[in-house]
Structures are given as C-alpha cells and as structure tokens.
Amino acid sequence: MELAAFVDRLDETLGTADYADLDASANGLQVGPDEGTVEHVAFAVDGVQETFEQAIEAGADVLVTHHGISWGGFDRVTGRTYDRIQPLIEHDLALYVSHLPLDGHQELGNAAGVADVLDLENRQPFGELGPEYIGQRGRVADSCSPTELRDQLESELETGGQSVQVLEFGPDEIEEVGIITGSGTDWLDEAVEAGVDALVTGEGKQKAYHEAREADIHVVLAGHYATETFGVRAVQERVESWDGDLETSYFEVPTGL
C-alpha cells in the first residue's frame, strides 16, 4: 500500500481533521516521506526511542502511536529531539500519530476500550472539548462497589504492576460511569453534571481529591499508559482487516504511570 493512501485512510477512519484546532499534538503523519510504500505496520502507545528501535528491528515501514513527538511544533531539531528523529529518518521509518482523535473515537478509542472492559451499556459521548468529545460514559450492567470496579480494571489493564487507586467519595453502589483516559480530572465537573457515580481516568491532579470529595463522586486513577493501550490495539485490528495483506506488530512498553 502507498504510504499516502495509508495515511489518508487512517485520517478518515479516525476523524483526524475534526481535532485539528483542538489538539496540541500534530496528528496524522508526523515523520515520513512524500512518497513511500507500507508493507509492515507497527503499533505502540508512545513514540519514543524504545518503540522506534523495536519497530526498526521488526522491519516496519510505519509506526502508529497515540503519543507522538510533536506537540505544537519544533523550534529547533537539536538535543533529544534530534536524537529521537534521527533513527526514523536513518531507517526510513514513518511515524503516524493519533492523540485526541484516538481518545474520543466512539468505536476504536481508548475510552471505548475501557468501557468494553467494564461492560458498560447505553453508551454515549462524554468529555466535551469544543465541538468534539474525548471520552465515553455508560451504565454498569450490574451495579458494583468501588472495590469491585477497581478489581475489574486491575485484572484487565496493563498497569505495570501498579495498583489502581480509587478516591472513594461517591455512593456505595456505582451505576453510571464516565471515562476520560490519560489525564482526565479536568472533566470532573462535567461528570458531576452528568450524574455519573464514578469518573475513570488515568492519572490525577492534586486538586481532584478535594473536588471529588466535595462533589460526592468517585475518581478512579487506573494509570495513564494503562488506560490508553486500547486505541492503538483497535486500530491494529482495523488495519489487519483492510485488503492488502499488511503485516502488523504491537509493542508493549508499560510505564506503570
């Protein structure tokens, strides 16, 4: 498959253009030639030296990640920025990135993946960001305690050996759950307004403790990395379903954060 066709197809699938004015990440093709072909696609959560090396060793033509290397552009390509970009160019490895589009995609996104783990019903978009959404909310099939919710996430997520933390300030039984993966406590007010019993996210901020306590809502901190493995895995499955017999690889590099 031509690289340009591969990029166009992913952009269309993920709605990349819809987030162009909302995301600090330069979504889409961040590093790559104007012309090229794709036979082997690698996937990882983070676009970093370790995943670049693994993709190069696997013989991949393009690496698809959730977190890339360009957040608002570069002033200079020196130091660590140069060190990161050099192996991509040297080994002709393209880098495709999908940040917020892959958080908010209601079928393939990270929040949708966490919702699958929790078997949520009556799902709908959640986590407004301008005209778009970056999360999902829904109803637990059978109400559960905060401990049961935590245990379910710990059993299914790649937490790097770390425990899922719960700020237990909500009701004894959880029925409605809102999900913003990564760093999502800034949407706590929206969760309260929506009437959810628990907000599931990756990592928290200091102020979230008191905000959750005062609002009588649970906040579940399941790990930034752990909550954001679902999107790239779902995109890998989608790419494998395309015509063209593309080879794929997935690289797991958990941070425990």
Annotated binding site: 66-67, 103, 224, 228
Question: Is residue 120 situated within a structural domain?
Answer: yes
One-letter amino acid at 113 equals: G
Task: Say which residue the tokens 């637990």 belong to.
Answer: 140
* Cut 0.75: pTM above it: yes
Is residue 179 within 8 Å of 114, Cβ to Cβ? yes
Burial (Cβ within 10 Å: 0-12, 13-18, ≥19) of residue 209: middle
So what's the pLDDT on residue 223?
96
- Looking at the structure, do residues 49 and 143 belong to the same domain, yes or no? no
Do 61 and 9 lie in one domain? The reply is yes
Whether residues 13 and 92 fall in one domain: yes
Which residues contribute to the annotated binding site for a divalent metal cation?
A: 66-67, 103, 224, 228
Q: Which domain holds residue 166?
A: 103-227
- Same domain, yes or no: 177 and 90: no
Query: Residue 217 belongs to a domain with what CATH number?
Result: 3.40.1390.30
Q: Which of 51, 66, 98 is the last residue of a domain?
A: 98
For the beta carbon of residue 129, count every other beta carbon within 10 angstroms. 17
Task: Note down pLDDT in tens along the chain; length 257 residues.
Answer: 999 999 999 999 999 999 999 999 999 999 999 889 999 999 999 999 999 999 999 999 999 999 999 998 887 889 988 998 999 999 999 999 999 999 999 999 999 999 999 999 999 999 999 999 999 999 999 999 999 999 999 999 988 888 999 999 999 999 999 999 999 999 999 999 999 999 999 999 999 999 999 999 999 999 999 999 999 999 999 999 997 789 999 999 999 89
**Domain endpoint, select from 98, 121, 141:** 98
The pLDDT, as a whole number, for residue 159 is 87
> Are both 108 and 223 inside the same structural domain?
yes
118 assigned to some structural domain: yes
The C-alpha atoms of residue 23 and residue 234 are separated, in whole angstroms, by: 21
Q: Which of 70, 98, 126 is the last residue of a domain?
A: 98
* Residue 54: its H or E element: helix 49-58
Residues 45 and 109 in one domain: no
CA atoms lying within 13 Å on the CB side of residue 119: 8
**Helix, strand or coil for residue 126?**
strand
The pLDDT assigned to 158 comes to: 87
Q: Vertex 15, ends 12 and 17: CA angle to 5°?
A: 95
pLDDT of residue 73: 82
